[in-house]
Amino acid sequence: MATVASKWASTAPLISGTFSPGEWVGAGTLPMPGGVIRVKNNANFLYLALDLVNDIGNSPGVGDYFWLSFDVDRSGSITPNFDINYGIYPSLPIKIGKQFYLGPGAWTGILPTPSPAIAQHGFSATAASPVPHRIWELRIPLADLGIVTLGALTLPYVRFGLRVASSSPSFVTDFPPSFFTNFAGLHAIYLATSPDTVYPPGTAGPVIGGVGLIPFTTIAGGRATTVAPYVPTVTNAAFGGVLNFIYNRPNVVGFWAAGARRYSVLHRVGSSGAFTPLRRTWSNYRWTGTDFVLDPFAPDVTNRYELKDPAIDYSTKDLLFQWNTTGSSGEPPTTTGIHEFQVQFFNAGGAVVASPAQTLQLYVDNALPQVQLFEIRYKGAVVAPCSIVDVTETPDPVQVRYRAFDPEGNLLSYALQAFYGGPGTPPFNLLAAGVGAYPGGNWTGIADTTVNCPVAPTKFPPVSCAYQFRLSATPRVTNGYGYIGYTEVTSHVTFRRTGAAIFAAPGSLVVPFGAQLGPEGFSVVGS
């Protein structure tokens, strides 16, 4: 198994089939038979360039193709209907598609579901060879690979296998050999979790640069606000979950040069009173040049942590301290409210190394919003869960009394929907447009209200069917890499329109995978 460390794509490569100036500079590189794989990523996508120096024939059509397989659950074996293979459609124009594995060397047809994956090919000289040759540029969504919140993972990685094929010269290369029948030897791409310079210039704090990808200067009153297109984009967000305190690299490099070798993290609850040392343990993966190894971090008897040489490359870059606010290692969950932090540095002899004064203030809230369906009514009568209710064509609304409330004021959104029908049937939204959306400020939501379900222009229930009423809510809380948390409550009622047969809702029919494309699936020329 070969490994490669991906590099952060601060500017996303243009997927054009041409190496635009600078777009692959600094990419992680992995040699393969007949070429080189170049790898970058950001918070949403994995970018790959296949620099195939041995493919010197500019073949038209789809005779030049690739397969790119991923062990999505990283189990080392093929998981049917879960692990993914990408390839191109068997006809022009060049278009990427994906399919699920069914077993060794067996797949579904091309999935009809739209995907943000992109593939383009080109033919030109590159830094790898002055002789023009085939190039593939690919963009793969990390969400397809089971990675939703990149920076929250200690060591995010993907395991992959690759086939490249050419019609002129004629060859098929599998890397590793026969990967599509056995996932045990797939190669690994270790994903970058942040840019080499984590925060935009001028946004980092002087010691604690920020939390995750949230710069210190965007935090006010313990809550964070960033502005799109910055990622993550959060608004007046509290903090929760596992928090990575990221140091200010230029300043810490200076502290290291001044002899700093240890540091302490000081903490207090609220914004007054004495600070006390905070003792926690965590791990971070160190890049050796060929692989990552796990380094543990823990305080010594003086409540101080070892400061590692900033030149060392770790998976979570510039990680100063990790704080699990939900409780760990026997520690209770963190109390909701304001918490403040300071950092002190010391040399090998225990003397203080001067550093700028800084206090980081965070509002911590791990409590999920309160959601409750108090009752469902029709014609004034309470409808018990699992009831079968006959409804007339008269405009008597179904009523739902509910609670979507966050006493700390950290509610982001809530939704009240009715789910019915089969796969592909969209849920029926029971709230008017805009209701349940964050209005600004510290929003608590709704403590107790009753909504009349729509009767016009589209009445509820639209058809005779069993309905799941689902009240869901998302807190306005971040771990520094995006919003976290979700809660819901459900109830079930069957509504039957008087005099109408019970029938499935539109959209319940699922077209078999690949049926509209024929059984051939992806290109297999030269296989």
- C-alpha 491/C-alpha 22 separation (Å) is 55
**Which tokens in the block code for residue 262?**
């240890």
pLDDT of residue 329: 59
pLDDT in 10s for each residue of the chain, 527 residues: 899 999 999 889 999 999 988 899 999 999 999 999 999 999 889 999 999 999 999 998 899 999 999 999 999 999 999 999 999 999 889 999 999 999 999 999 999 877 899 999 999 999 999 999 999 999 999 999 998 777 666 688 999 999 999 999 999 999 999 999 999 999 999 999 888 888 999 999 999 999 999 999 999 999 999 999 888 899 999 999 999 999 999 999 999 999 999 999 999 999 999 999 999 999 999 988 888 899 999 999 999 999 999 999 998 999 999 999 997 656 667 899 999 999 999 999 999 999 999 999 999 999 999 999 999 999 989 999 999 999 987 678 999 999 999 999 999 999 999 999 987 789 999 999 999 999 999 999 999 999 999 877 788 999 999 999 999 999 999 999 999 999 999 999 999 987 543 333 333 333 222 222 222 355 444 33
Q: Per-residue b/e over 488-519, b at no fewer than 16 CB within 10 Å? A: ebebebbbbbeeeeeeebeeeeeeebbeebee
| Contact status, residue 494 vs residue 389, Cβ threshold 8 Å | yes
Please state which CATH number belongs to domain 3-193: 2.60.40
| Fold classification of 370-497 (topology level) | Immunoglobulin-like (2.60.40)
What is the structure's pLDDT at 499?
Answer: 54
Phi and psi at 251, nearest 5°, equal -70, -40
pLDDT of residue 511: 28
Q: Is the dihedral of CA 65, 71, 72, 77 positive or negative?
A: positive
The SS3 call for residue 447 is: strand
Q: Decide: 11 and 196 in contact? Cβ < 8 Å.
A: no
The count of residues in the chain is 527
pLDDT at residue 522 in the model:
59
Rounded to 5 degrees, φ, ψ at 216 are: -55, -40
Residue at 130: amino acid letter: P
At residue 252, the pLDDT reads 97
Q: Bridge partners of 137?
A: 49, 120
Q: What is the pLDDT of residue 517?
A: 29
Please list, residue by residue across 30-57, b when 16 or more beta carbons sit within 10 angstroms of its beta carbon and e when fewer do.
bebebbbbbbbbbbbbbbbbbbbbbbeb
Domain parsing of the chain, residue ranges: 3-193, 208-364, 370-497
Q: What is the pLDDT of residue 509?
A: 30
Q: Quote the pLDDT of residue 497.
A: 82
CB burial of residue 440 (10 Å; 0-12, 13-18, 19+): exposed
